[in-house]
Amino acid sequence: MSSKFEMSGLGKLTYYLGIEVTQYDGGIELRQSQYALKVLEESGMSECNPTQAPMEFNIRLSKATEEKNIDEKEYRKNIGCLRYLLHTRPDLFFSVGVLSRYMHEPNQSHGAALKQVLRYLRGTITLRVRFTHSPEVKLVGYSDASRNDDGKSTTGHVFYLNDGPVTWCFQKQEIVALSSCEAEFMAATEAAKQAIWLQELLGEIIGKVCKKNEQVEVEHVPGNEQRADILTKSLGRIKFAEMRSLIGVHDVSKDDFKLKEENVVINLKIA
């Protein structure tokens, strides 16, 4: 790029837009630990007791009119902050996505669910995503669908470049599927569209490596290996921990090796 644009060399990237970057011989890691601490401080949850899952298993939230409403402005602010964390925290995608549906009239149940997400965040500050170097370029995706009470299923998919998650999605299907099979086909169709787009994008970036096979190969994935499962439903804490590891979110504090890194510290009082 320096041959076409006037640029200044500032060394290795270590921090940008609230995202901390660690570069090492084997690859790169992204996390938002300092930003997460700031979110907890501004929400008054920096000293809360942590929990092991962001949502209760099989939780059912609705716009219950008999429940008392809570501060809409504060609720929106917290959800907005959590949504920015999704850049490096796909494990939060389902819970934050569900709570985002109630931005206009949040009630006490939504507020309690939001607090649980923040408690989970409190105990998982050190989680991050990792991207490793590899001579082979392999694009693999997982898709899933989960039926909701209103008939419209939830679609989720996640794509990996080698072992690193590069894109993930959680959304409600626009129409009511007539069966769970139809819902799965709709989810797979959306995932296929994403796969084709990613193939074209990677082909432009790294040449013909990703264009050798311009087709999308579909395979059945057993439930215990379905990485998109964490994007479509609330799971029990043990299952959630297993899926979180499979989806590519790791705990830097529990690694068996040490990384030589440069940390940028944010003053939370003035940031």
Measured CA to CA in angstroms, residue 77 lies from 39, 42, 90, 143, 189 at distances of: 10, 10, 20, 30, 34
| pLDDT computed for residue 207 by the predictor | 57
| pLDDT computed for residue 150 by the predictor | 62
d(CA 159, CA 157): 7
Residues 6+ apart with CB under 8 A from 82: 39, 92, 96, 99, 117, 118, 121
30 neighbors 23 (Cβ within 8 angstroms) = no
Q: What is the mean pLDDT of each run of 10 residues along the chain (271 residues)?
A: 75 86 87 94 93 89 79 93 93 91 89 95 91 80 75 81 84 74 78 80 60 64 77 87 87 55 38 34
| pLDDT computed for residue 179 by the predictor | 72
| pLDDT computed for residue 262 by the predictor | 39
40 neighbors 85 (Cβ within 8 angstroms) = no
DSSP 93-121: HHHHHHHHTTSSS-BHHHHHHHHHHHHHH
122 neighbors 133 (Cβ within 8 angstroms) = no
Quote the longest CA-to-CA distance of the chain: 64
Question: Global pTM?
Answer: 0.79
d(CA 236, CA 239): 5
| pLDDT computed for residue 268 by the predictor | 37
| pLDDT computed for residue 255 by the predictor | 54
| pLDDT computed for residue 209 by the predictor | 47
| pLDDT computed for residue 85 by the predictor | 93
Phi, psi of 217, rounded to the nearest 5 degrees: -90, 130
Measured CA to CA in angstroms, residue 32 lies from 79, 158, 197 at distances of: 16, 20, 27
| pLDDT computed for residue 40 by the predictor | 95
| pLDDT computed for residue 259 by the predictor | 44
154-161 and 15-16 strand pairing = unpaired
